[in-house]
Structures are given as C-alpha cells and as structure tokens.
Structure 1
C-alpha cells in the first residue's frame, strides 16, 4: 500500500432534522450557535468522533475511543499504549494515521500532525432553534413525587457544510495510505447516515447529502480552500422555515467557479449525492472540463 499520493480537498454536506448536531456541555448542551448570523456550527472534533466510532464499527482499530477496564474505570492513554512502540502504534491504529496524535509516555514523546484536518462545519442558512420542555420519570431527590423538569435543545432543520483537507506531505509522517483515505471517506458518509454514534435520542435525524472529493494532480501543493463557503441554499421560504431538501435547491455555481480557477491543478472530482438533494447545476454540468467520477459506498 502506498502513502497518500495526492492532495485532496473535501466538501461534505449533511443535514440535521429535529436533533442537536453538536451540543455545548458548558451551555446546557445547547447546539453551538452564532447569534449574529443565526447559523449553527459543529466542531471538527465532532466530525472526527463520528468517523472514529464508525471506523470501529467497520472493524478497524481506533485509538481515541472509550475503553474501560474490568472495574469500569476508563483506560488511560498510557494503559492503552502499553508496550507498543512508535511503529506499532502507526501500524495498528487507523485514526492516528488519519488524524495524528500526541503521546508523552515513558519519557518518549511522539507528536504527529494528522494529514486529514477539518474546519468547523457551519449551516448554510439560519436555523430555527427549539427548546422543548419535558420531564423525566424518575425524581432527582428522595421524597419527590414527580420527575425532574428538563430542557431539550434542538434545531428544527439545518444543512451543514464541512470542509476538509488531506495533506500528502503530512501523510509521510503518519504512514497514511490512499486506502486509509478511501476508508475514511466511507466512514464519513455512512457514519452521518446510520452510524450508531448518531443513533441516540438527541442525534438521530442526521443524513449525508453530498460528498465531493477534489483530487489534485500529483505534486500539487496548491489549496483551493473554503469550499464550504462557496455553496448556496436557494429557497422561496425564509431560512428558519426550511424543514428538508424539498424546501430548497443547492446552487453549485460559485463552487464551480472557485474550483475551475484551479483547473490545471485538479486531476478529477469524485462525488456521491443523496437522491433527495436537488443540485443546480448538476455535478457533471458544473465541472465541465474536469473528469468527474461517482463514488459508491
């Protein structure tokens, strides 16, 4: 297997319906929300968490994942590393090859910058925030006769865009391969579609809608950048009234203009799209002059 041979830029769109895409534990687990723009955002750590947990479901060894000892306590990083040396860690754990990691155990520190990095995901439109009141069945204190009141914070709907980069130069240090990258793309797509990590009470309602992989030519050190800021939701409805793909069309006009300026650096564009998403112009029409291939997961 060869080390990642080319630079990749990723645009990933998924939507969230009546769910919490990324709660803030220091703010009553409310969705992370930009009050000035009315848009929600999602930390890169949340995206990587979904990928990691999905990789584990797919049968791959993942280091940054919750593991407990027989007594129920969480395993420490030192306990998980054990007697593994640098080479064995990279050989064993796909998430370290993808995202890097810091190890300061046994006075022998290792620090790898991950070849795959994501920017914060941001909704492409203003969202409707919901505060749903409820009660629990069990009382919180002895002697109480009814359950505890609770606040459940969600968004009615949000189409979220995520931008990522796979750096072939950083891949040399973690030994990330072309196969690792393909596996990661699959975990990104199916994880946001049906991975168990998002099949919880507050997370169910995620759906992958569009994944575009811009493959640079061998040797390219260019970066198009900011692909998630070049797509637009076009709708007759007010942003906060949008509740699903049937309420809007996704315009790729600005994205196509942005990528075509780097046409001489791009080898091909690969994509997978959910059939419910209405895209204008189509992928093939938008990127005329660049080889376009469909992904199959």
Structure 2
C-alpha cells in the first residue's frame, strides 16, 4: 500500500478549441465572470483519465472502468449484489460488514472506483442491501483554472449534409456554431491520500498508472471541438510519510508561472519553473515532462 502522501500540479493547454463547454451558456468554454479566466471541471479531467485507462488496460483483471458513457451503473452493482452473500443476521455489525464487502467487490474490479471513488446507489435500495454505498476515493483533482484570462470566439460553420428529406427540399446545407478559445494554459491541483488508499486497495501500481494516464490523457481523446490539447508539465510532491510534511499552499509556491507577454498565445509565452529554494523539508519533487 502507499507509504507516502502525494500532492501534484498539472499544467495543460488548449489551442483553438473548447476544453470544457458550459451547457448553461450555449456550450461556450467555461469562464469565471469576474476574472474572465477559463475553468475546466474535475469531472472532465477524470473522464479523460478514465478513457485512457480503459484503452490502455482493456480486459486486464482489476482494471475495469465503472463510469462509462451510456452504460447504466446498475448493471455492475447488481452483479455485486448477486456475488456477495447477504448476512444471515440483520445487526449493525453484519450490515456494516456486508456494505464493506460490496464496496470491496467494486474496488477490486474497477480501477476508477478504487482511485476516484463512486456512489453505488443500488446498494442503498431497500430491496437490495439498504446499506451505505458511498466510496471515497484517495485521488482528488480540483477544477482547473487558466493562468491568464481567455477570450472566447464564436465561429460560424456550415455542413453540406442536411438533417432530413424535408430540409433537402429547401436548402443544400445547414448552419452551425462552434465556440473556441484561441489559447489557454490551465492549472489543476490534485491529492493522493494514503489513508483512503488503504480502504479502497489503491496501491503503488495504481499510482504509476495514474501518473501515466495524466501525461497521456489528451493523446487518446482528441476531438475536433476541443482543438489541440496537451499536458505540458506534471509536478509531483512526494511527502516523507503518510501524514504529509507541508501545506498545499506552500507547495504551490514551488511551481512558478510567469507571462513573457501581455497576451500569451502559446506555451512558449510563459516561463514555467520549479523553484528549488522554496521546497519545504521532507518533500521530494518529481517533475514529469
């Protein structure tokens, strides 16, 4: 199991694309109104990590992905309810042990459950286990925020294909809209708790797969609407023990990001550095990429 606490910083960028559309704003890139800085949700990043793991380790035991597009979550939970014997007694201890056995079944089978956690609502049903189905994962990732304010451009597009036969009688193409940001460098922070890792079974091998997935998460998840996206740097802070040796705000000072121009339009318009002079005691800094 994990013998160290970890914190990490991810820097990634987007060029001429929409990294995470806002359904409440015509799918425009998410943006903080007051600062005009771009935002990407944690769910969007975890989706790309899941997609990479699913492709990279397809079919391997214990490397399944629970949260899938278009696949009801009940299917796998019903399998767990079928495989795990119900307790003969209905006492508190038996009920708690049953809940833990169901959660272990899910963690053993699905990489994303023992990594990010899950809510197994099927376990809470009265006709099922009627037990606590919440699993808190050891890996948590924050919302990403762009280093500088982003601009949003509305791009009109046309398609030579029409939607149906009726439209074909009156038009020979259809119109549409895309929203993009010309450039944005985004920063996300993350944390790995060894205490929660012990509960879900997340181990050192899973941790290495996480780092690998973060570095490659955009390479296998290209889409025309997202433009060019790439991870530029992953900085990992390895604490000397399980309790941690520094606060998050002190660790973030280690990674410095400085603009070289008033309007950055590429990664080279920033200077990104790791300041070794401010690394707290008991912290090992690992820079990937």
Q: Distance in 2 between matches of 1:53 and 1:131?
A: 29
SS at match of 1:124: strand
CA pair 219-4 structure 1, distance change in 2 beyond 3 A: closer
Shift, 1:220, TM fit: 2.5
Equivalent in 119, 129, 136 of residue 102 of structure 1: 119
* Contact 2:194–2:242 (Cα < 8 Å) also in 1: no
Q: Distance in 1 between matches of 2:132 and 2:74?
A: 12
**Residue 157 of structure 2: aligned partner:** 134
Length, aligned pairs only = 252
**Residue 60 of structure 2: aligned partner:** none
Shift, 1:228, TM fit: 5.5
SS at match of 1:82: helix
Shift, 1:157, TM fit: 0.8
Q: Distance in 1 between matches of 2:10 and 2:71?
A: 33
* Contact 1:162–1:228 (Cα < 8 Å) also in 2: no
Write the deviation string for residues 78-137 of structure 1: whole angstroms up to 9, x where unpaired. Answer: 112232242321111110010001112223442111110011111111223221111222
Q: Distance in 2 between matches of 1:98 and 1:15?
A: 24
CA pair 115-223 structure 1, distance change in 2 beyond 3 A: farther
Specify the structure having the higher radius of gyration (Cα): 2
Unaligned runs of 5+ in 2: 58-62, 85-101, 123-127
Q: Distance in 1 between matches of 2:288 and 2:78?
A: 40
Moved more, 145-154 or 46-55: 145-154
Measured on the aligned residues, the alpha-carbon RMSD in Å equals: 2.0
| Equivalent residues in 2 for 1:153-232, closer than 5 Å | 153-192=179-218, 194-195=219-220, 197=221, 199-226=222-249, 231-232=256-257
Shift, 1:187, TM fit: 0.4
* Contact 1:124–1:233 (Cα < 8 Å) also in 2: no
TM-score, normalized by length of structure 2?
Answer: 0.81
Write the deviation string for residues 41-99 of structure 1: whole angstroms up to 9, x where unpaired. Answer: 11011111110011001113111112xxxxxxx43211122322423211111100100
* Contact 1:234–1:251 (Cα < 8 Å) also in 2: no
**Residue 6 of structure 1: aligned partner:** 4
* Contact 1:97–1:171 (Cα < 8 Å) also in 2: yes
Unaligned runs of 5+ in 1: 67-73, 274-297
Structure showing greater relative contact order (alpha-carbon pairs closer than 8 Å, 6 or more residues apart): 2
Shift, 1:223, TM fit: 4.8
| Equivalent residues in 2 for 1:71-86, closer than 5 Å | 74-84=70-80, 85=84, 86=102
